[in-house]
Amino acid sequence: MTPPASVSRGGDRTRRRRPAGRLRVPWRGRGPQPTARVTAKIPAVSDRDELLDAIRANAVIRGDFVLSSGQRASWYVDLRRVLLAGRFAPAAGRVMLETTAGLSYEAVGGLTIGADPVAGAMMHAAAGQGRILDAFVVRKGEKSHGLQRRIEGPDVAGRRVLAVEDTSTTGSSVLTAVEALREAGAEVVGVAVLVDRGARERIAGLGLPYRAAYEQSDLGV
């Protein structure tokens, strides 16, 4: 008779075979046999850190420049290189929403063109969080045709709005937007910029809450 497949006979001993694929390798190291493998966790990079790295690498340009304020500078920060990049714009929107979390507003925007990508990024980031946030564009002058609107987008009259800018040195551009918004009947709850280059004192001196995601010193220039 042929013995069962699980049993082999050799002399007077009986040995059970191990199931295929389950061969046990003896522990040959020192100390007790490890019971589990420990895998190191890599800390996640925050939106704020990722965005700052992107600004430093892509938006800070050295040279001789004349700013919109008329002042000369040895470096220029072109934030549109980051704010209009699909890789970084979502993080910029989330960072600005976090920076302005203490303010209550229904719409966001400012003087074209510096404010436009900021407002767009915030609007889409808010939608990703399940929040409806409108955006608007403030023209630099009255439109001479069509509806002749100074402020494009959903109506801002009677609404709480946030005036934004990508970066500001004197505050002139964003304050031009504030004036236009107030003339249109909006309630301006504050001003926010991605990078402050020196406008804080002037804007805060007018009684407007001022928020900046980054200061000039954060850029390493």
pLDDT score of 15 more than 60? no
Q: Kindly report the average pLDDT of the chain as a whole number.
A: 86
How confident is residue 7, by pLDDT bands cut at 50, 70 and 90? very low
* Residue predicted with more confidence, 42 or 191: 191
What is the 3-state secondary structure of the chain? CCCCCCEEEECCEEEECCCCCCCCCCCCCCCCCCCCCCCCCCCCCCHHHHHHHHHHHHCEEEEEEECCCCCEEEEEECCHHHHCCCCCHHHHHHHHHHHCCCCCCCEEEEECCCCHHHHHHHHHHHHHCCCCCEEEEECCCCCCCCCCCCEECCCCCCCEEEEEEEEECCCHHHHHHHHHHHHCCCEEEEEEEEEECCCHHHHHHCCCCEEEEEEHHHHCC
Please give the pLDDT value at position 36: 52
Please give the pLDDT value at position 143: 61
Who contacts 180 (Cβ-Cβ below 8 Å, separation ≥6)?
111, 138, 150, 151
Range 96-219: architecture per CATH: 3-Layer(aba) Sandwich (3.40)
How confident is residue 218, by pLDDT bands cut at 50, 70 and 90? very high
Taking the CB of residue 76, how many other CB atoms lie within 10 A of it?
A: 16
Domain residue ranges of the chain, discontinuous segments joined by + = 96-219
pTM: 0.77
What is the 3-state secondary structure of 68-82? CCCCEEEEEECCHHH
Please give the pLDDT value at position 221: 78
pLDDT tens digits along 35-78? 555 555 555 779 999 999 999 999 999 999 887 777 788 888 99
pLDDT score of 23 more than 60? no
Which of 216, 219, 177 lies closest to 198 in space, CA to CA?
216
pLDDT tens digits along 88-115? 999 999 999 999 999 999 999 999 999 9
How confident is residue 149, by pLDDT bands cut at 50, 70 and 90? confident
pLDDT score of 10 more than 90? no
Question: In this prediction, what percent of the chain has a pLDDT beyond 70?
Answer: 77
pLDDT tens digits along 108-132? 999 999 999 999 999 999 999 999 9
Please give the pLDDT value at position 54: 97
> Quick one: tokens of 10?
């050799």
Please give the pLDDT value at position 220: 86
